[in-house]
Amino acid sequence: MSRIHQINPQSATGKAKELLDAVQAKLGLVPNMTRAMANSPAVLDGYLSLSGALSKGGLSAKSREQIALAVAQTNECDYCLAAHSAIGKMVGLSVDQILDSRRGASVDPKTDAMIRFARQVVDERGHVSDANIAQVHAAGLDDGAIAEVVANVALNIFTNYFNHVAATEIDFPKAEPLAEQVCASGDACHATH
């Protein structure tokens, strides 16, 4: 049960209605998260503005979704895992790419470095090392791409935490649980973090 009331787009007024109508026009639906954010049009506008700005950056839609999946898995946000698994498929990610992103990895070396760096930013609360920066530079990410990774991490931490607080009801197909992996030591390790 959601802990923050969800604004019905049909009964919304003012700025909330304008923003929810824009979400409907863009996505063809109004997800529960944006309905809950609409309680404060400033919050919904901030989310949509940052998301919109980052969509015009250098990172592809696939890369942004891979970051979103890695961050959502790290923060254990079931709502965002469901949403970004669905959106990831819409932008062309394969099932394996979605699962790999959730595990914090990719078969593509540049994408792998990007996803690992995104998780390091989350895990270290931004206090990444010089070696972390050198690794993403060596993989081919320039300073602009690094800045966009950080911004995408921040956007996704916001939505993860918002959904934790709101207990937003999942309105996308639920993400599959990650299977247990066997670590290099031969012991079972969990892929969630």
DSSP summary character for residue 189: E
Q: What's the CA gap between 103 and 31, in Å, rounded?
A: 25
| pTM exceeding 0.85 | yes
pLDDT of residue 176: 87
pLDDT of residue 180: 59
Between 3.30.565.10, 3.40.1030.10, 1.20.1290.10, 3.30.70.100, what CATH number should domain 60-174 receive? 1.20.1290.10
Name the token pair of 11: 């009964």
- For residue 81, CA distances in Å to 4, 63, 71, 160, 171 come to 20, 15, 9, 9, 11
Q: What's the CA gap between 106 and 112, in Å, rounded?
A: 4
Residue ranges of domains in the chain: 9-56, 60-174
Name the token pair of 129: 């090392």
Q: List the pLDDT tens digit at each of the 193 positions of the chain.
A: 889 999 999 999 999 999 999 999 988 899 999 999 999 999 999 999 999 999 999 999 999 999 999 999 999 999 999 999 999 999 999 999 999 999 999 999 999 999 999 999 999 999 999 999 999 999 999 999 999 999 999 999 999 999 999 999 999 999 988 875 544 444 444 444 3
CB 22 within 8 A of CB 56: no
pLDDT of residue 58: 98
Locate all alpha helices (DSSP H) within the chain, ordered by sequence: 14-27, 32-37, 41-55, 61-74, 78-90, 95-103, 109-123, 130-138, 143-166
pLDDT of residue 172: 95
pLDDT of residue 193: 38
pLDDT of residue 70: 98
pLDDT of residue 179: 77
